[in-house]
Amino acid sequence: MVNINSSIEEELQKFKEISFKLGSNKNLVQAAGGNTSIKINDSMYIKASGTWLQDSLNKDIFVEVNLKSIQKKINDEIDDNFVEDIISTNDLRPSTETSFHALIKFKYVLHVHSTSTIANAVYANSEKLLKEQLGKDIAFVPYIRPGVPLTNRMKSLINSDTQIIILENHGLIVAGDNLEKTYELLINIHNELDSLYYNDAFPIYDKEGEIDVSGYVLKNTEKYSIYRTSDQKLIKIFSKSLYPDHVIFLGPGIPVFKSANDANSFIIEINKKEINLPPFLIIEKYGLFQSNSCIDAASEMIDCFTEILLRLRLDNEIKYFTQEQENELLNWDAEIYRQTIN
């Protein structure tokens, strides 16, 4: 007879291996973004808030919670605090998105911030485009703040058979009862959307000599050449925000300046106020500059944003976050906690 504990350990190990694979692919998961879960009996194991999926195999990043208790709460007016439902004792908080993992009935739930998905989920007509491409069986969820508000919105938009969920201006959820098939489905969706469009013909300027920006260094590789522009369509995108982790780790838009003098004057004023400098800023025609104090999470997030930029169709109407939506994220206790960990 198979030992039950041994069987559970084997299931968890395979789940962690898939979580690691997802977290190691930066076009799927960046920094502390994304989360995965597995339901076993009356428990759900879910990635802890602020942890990185790429650490699934070498760190204790999963929290065991009481599944039935959370599922019961989903029908009530609940907040994002699931402390009383934690079973494990590793002093970690469950993901802010624990409630939608519990809402979805499948054993495995994989949520990623796929660059190709986000790039195709930020248009005014994204739902139509995505259902034409992926089929009408997908669920498309209009943007709302992650956490319990998102779960409440999902209630009326998914059913027990829904395996593919596109979150507007946010990402992708794929669920299933077979781990390998669920992972393969997620990869296939990402790849299919990734093949739709790639723009390598942006108007890029040759760098006009060296300039000095106090406390910042130029990201001077071909990968970031898209930022060496004065194209106003691109400048508008640079200065807006498109998805939650964009706001959290890059701020509500990257500051764009006409000259190094303008940028340095801005930095002086920010320092006088004794507030944090933005991790990145842009000087038209020169490119992207990274703060000397930029954290790893922000560095990964600018790479994500860059990959999304290259997949945007500039002739489509783009839906940016409003200031109200940005403030809702920046002032959310759960996100403040996640930032302190990172």
> Where in the sequence of the chain do the CATH 3.40.225.10 domains occur?
4-194
User: Domain 4-194 is classified in which CATH homologous superfamily?
Assistant: Class II aldolase/adducin N-terminal domain (3.40.225.10)
For residue 210, give Cα distances in angstroms to 220, 225, 226, 280.
11, 15, 18, 18
pLDDT value, residue 76: 76
pLDDT in tens, 248-259: 999 999 999 999
Task: Find out whether 333 and 148 touch, Cβ atoms under 8 Å.
Answer: no
For residue 197, give Cα distances in angstroms to 117, 138, 149, 151.
12, 20, 32, 31
pLDDT in tens, 214-262: 999 999 888 899 999 888 999 999 999 999 999 999 999 999 999 999 9
User: What integer is the mean pLDDT of 189-195?
Assistant: 96
pLDDT in tens, 114-166: 999 999 999 999 999 999 999 889 999 999 999 999 999 999 999 999 999 99
pLDDT in tens, 265-315: 999 999 999 889 999 999 998 999 999 999 999 999 999 999 999 999 989
Beta bridge partners of 172: 112, 166
pLDDT value, residue 334: 66
pLDDT value, residue 223: 86
pLDDT value, residue 3: 46
Q: Has residue 201 got a pLDDT over 90? A: no
pLDDT value, residue 338: 61
Residue 5 — pLDDT band, cuts 50, 70, 90? confident
Question: Rounded distance, CA 331 to CA 282, Å?
Answer: 25
Radius of gyration of the chain (CA): 21
Task: Find out whether 99 and 123 touch, Cβ atoms under 8 Å.
Answer: no
Provide the percentage of residues in the chain whose pLDDT is more than 70: 94
Question: What global pTM score does this model have?
Answer: 0.94
Q: Where are the alpha helices (DSSP H) in the chain?
A: 4-24, 67-74, 98-103, 115-120, 126-134, 148-155, 179-194, 232-238, 244-250, 260-272, 296-309, 323-330, 333-341
pLDDT in tens, 29-79: 999 999 999 999 999 999 999 999 999 999 999 999 999 999 998 877 677
pLDDT in tens, 79-96: 777 878 999 888 899 999
